[in-house]
Amino acid sequence: MATYTITTTDTDEICMKTDVMSVEDWIIAAVAGKVGSTKKRLLQKYMEHCAENEVQMKVTKNEQVAHARELGLAVYLSEIKDKTPS
């Protein structure tokens, strides 16, 4: 599990508190929303790949995400960037 820490300025904090009840809760919800939408797209891609290639799907969503990574379907953007010519 990864832990991320962010730092905001006092000005950022004032601005955020005029729009949300809890900055921390908003950050947690924003990350959860992003994870949820990317997981949904990845699992759709995984199911299509497995169906088209007669690959046995894993049972749980966590196993499916890990399997998608093993199959090369879950490529990190940093890996793509690392391979592009400068």
Whether residue 23 has pLDDT greater than 80: yes
Number of separate domains in the chain: 1
CB atoms within 10 A of CB 45: 14
**Domain of residue 72, residue span:** 11-83
Give residue 57's region: left, alpha or beta (phi > 0; psi -120 to 50).
beta
The answer to whether residue 23 is domain-embedded is yes
Decide if 39 is inside a domain.
yes
Residue 81 has a pLDDT of 75
Mean predicted lDDT score pLDDT of the chain: 94
Q: What is the mean pLDDT of residues 62-86?
A: 89
CA atoms within 13 A on the CB side of 25: 5
Q: Is 2 part of a structural domain of the chain?
A: no
Residue 46: its H or E element: helix 23-53
CA 79 to CA 69: how far, in whole Å? 12
Q: Helix, strand or coil for residue 49?
A: helix
* pLDDT reported for residue 59: 97
Whether residue 34 has pLDDT greater than 80? yes
pLDDT, residue 86, reads: 61
pLDDT score, position 80: 87
